Structure 1
């Protein structure tokens, strides 16, 4: 006889169903989502095992981020549960949701616990170890960095929008000027958050403006006088705002510049934390040996993969990232249009695609593959080629991590 323990996890409680492989519900019970509740749940499992001597015990729950992490790790590491070879698994919520749809049942926590147990009973669960502590610590850092970068992108978009109100031709002039800079350089942001009107900037002596820019840019501008001319040209050709509107825009720009700098510092702090922690992960060298894969991309990939033994092969790894195209076939008809599933780990997919984009600029093999896929269709060329390149990149990542080896270029490249 086998026992399947389905747990519906929430922030405060663990609704639990104890189901045998003969579809007998031994108990439905609710425990607190804390150490006491987890201990009571474990003791109940041990009590049932002492009575029935189960051949197998599977403890399963949906992946609910921070809520499921603690109970899953607690059961996975418990010595008494390990002694009876109990399996702890965290399942994809989408799969269980699709399974529940077949029965048209009500949506309550006890019913959810039963459906999770029944899903485990049909042996569709993933029998893979839970990530080690180093990978989870790394994941907290890489995901936080991902969120901060998204916030930074959004704030920069707001900055450009409001800067366009103040000087609507600046972005265009900087883009077209040879050897110029961007609106996000420290000098440009400081210049347009000063207590100076556009007329003040337009009338400022060119030499003084060039010297100010070179001072703020710490001598990095090759042609500060040319940059000063570009800025004054943009200032003179831009519309003027009423004083009330101008004051509000100046205040907003100042706030956004402070936020941009704060977020940029946060990204640097995350990068430093990632770099310090990733050195302790042995597989790190395997991924950074690939040209184009730096510390951040390597850390992001390792944080989401964990131990490569969690996945039986590279196909499972690709499915975990959502880089699969399900076939649609019926009779003699097979659909030509097979959209990307995207039902996977979005963080893992993000780091795979970003890393593949970087690798395609460094490795001739991936560059040729990208170009070939780019030319195959007239629509969404870049996105399609990049995603397909990422799918190819999965195979390389899987091979290096599974064999614990460094990247070596193909023989044809070495001969050249």
Structure 2
């Protein structure tokens, strides 16, 4: 007989319920989400095992943002509970929610804890491989980098939207990125109005760009000509509107510079941890995958042994497409599932986009998928290339091998 302990996690408290294999509730209570609360749950488990001597003790917690991480680790690393052969599992909230819909009952934290314990009793869950400290530390860095990248992309989009008011033809004219350090300074600086920028001599503007860029521009004259053309062809706004646009541009420029600096610091820390991770060395042997992308994949996969094949890893990353079949007809164009580990999917897709520029095998596969459809070619081809990369990633990590490119015939 097993003891199944379901814990409903929230930021402030932990509602828990202990149920045996005969669906009998042994204990049930609510404690604060603090070390004292997990100690109270531990004591209930120890007392129940002294009375009944259960064969197995399973604790299940739903993946509730970050609130389940600390209590689950506190219970998992406790020596007295480990002596009982304790298993701590993190459950998918979608699965427990669908299970609870079978019962016609109220929705409360107490009821949820009991349903989680009942779900454990049924046994339709997977026991995850515990992550060590190195993987958790790496995961904290790579996940924050993911969010930081999204914030930076959001700022860049708003910067471009406001830049359109100031110079609406700049994207078509400029031969370099508007997000370079020198170009950001030029576009947000108020030393030149559009009329002054259009009338300034080309030699003087070229010299100013050289000074701002410290001679790092490949062709400062071409950039100066593009700026003058854009200044001549853009709409003119009154001073009040232009001052507002310049203020907003300056704010977003400062945010973009701040995010770029933070990304640089994060990448430095990620690289240092990645160098001490053996699995990352296998992935870095793939052309195009650097320490950041390798660390992002390793941090989410952790122990590759928990995936029986590449299809299970692809499903975990959300790189699978729903099947739609009825009778003798099977639909060809089906949507990708909107579930899975978004962080792993992001790093796999970004890595695949890099690998296809270095490896001929992946390049041919990307080109083939790119030409198959008339719309969303790059996005679709990148996702499918990432799905192809999953097999290589899992093989290298499981076998601890370095990548050997296919021989060209």
Range into which the TM-score falls when normalised by the shorter chain? over 0.9
Q: 1:59 to 1:203 in 2, by over 3 A?
A: same
C-alpha distance in 2 between matches for 1:104 and 1:381: 46
Q: 1:143 to 1:102 in 2, by over 3 A?
A: same
Distance in 1 separating the partners of 2:147 and 2:100: 32
Deviates more, 1:373-382 or 1:295-304: 373-382
Partner residue in 1 for 2:178: 183
Q: CA deviation at 1:121?
A: 1.2
TM normalised by structure 1 equals: 0.94
Say which of 217, 223, 227 aligns to 2:223.
Answer: 227
Q: Corresponding residue for 1:7?
A: 7
Q: Could you say which residue in structure 1 is the equivalent of 2:294?
A: 298
1:145–1:267 contact (8 Å) kept in structure 2: yes
**Partners of 2:105 and 2:379 in 1: CA distance:** 40
Give the structure 2 partner of residue 35 of structure 1: 35
Question: Which whole-Å deviations, capped at 9, do the CAs of 1:305-344 have from their partners, x for residues lacking one?
Answer: 1122233332221121112234344565544443221311
- SS where residue 283 of structure 1 aligns? helix
Contact 1:374 1:384 in 2 (8 A): yes
Deviation at 1:47, TM superposition (A): 1.0
CA separation in 1, counterparts of 2:237 and 2:375? 42
Shifted more, 363-372 versus 294-303: the winner is: 363-372
From 311, 336, 340, the counterpart of 1:344: 340
Which deviates the most, 149-158 or 383-392? 383-392
Determine the structure 2 residue equivalent to 1:205.
201
Deviations 1:15-54 (A, max 9, x none): 0011111111112111111111101101111111111111
The aligned counterpart of 2:103 is 103
Shift of 1:181: 1.3
* Alpha-carbon distance in 1 for matches of 2:373, 2:227: 41
Whole-Å separation in 2 of the counterparts to 1:170 and 1:385 = 30
**What does residue range 126-205 of structure 1 map to in structure 2 within 5 Å?**
126-174=126-174, 180-195=175-190, 196-205=192-201
The 2-side partners of 1:120 and 1:376 are apart by 45
SS of structure 1 residue aligned to 2:188: coil
TM-score (ref. length: structure 2): 0.95
Does the 8 Å CA contact 1:324/1:342 hold for their aligned counterparts? no
Distance, in Å, in 1 between the alignment partners of 2:4 and 2:51 is 15
Q: Return the offset for 1:226.
A: 2.5
Give the structure 1 partner of residue 245 of structure 2.
249
**Residue aligning to 1:310:** 306
Helix, strand or coil: the match of 1:67?
coil
Structure 1: stretches of 5+ with no match in the other structure: 175-179
- For each residue in 1:100-152, what CA deviation from the matched residue of structure 2 results, as whole angstroms up to 9, or x when unmatched? 22324321101111111111111111112221111111111111111111111
Query: Gaps (5+ residues) in structure 2?
Result: none
8 Å CA contact 2:155–2:255 kept in 1: the answer is yes
Alpha-carbon contact 2:27-2:44 (below 8 Å) kept: no
CA distance change for structure 1 residues 75 and 330 in 2, over 3 Å: closer, same or farther? farther
Change (3 A) 1:384 1:105: farther
Q: Distance in 2 between matches of 1:155 and 1:344?
A: 27
Structure 1 residues 220 and 375: CA distance shift in structure 2, 3 A: same
Aligned residues: CA RMSD: 1.7
Judged with a 3 Å threshold, the aligned counterparts in structure 2 of structure 1 residues 96 and 333 are, in CA distance, closer, same or farther, namely farther
2:170–2:227 Cα contact (<8 Å) kept: yes
Separation in 1 of the partners of 2:356 and 2:330?
A: 31
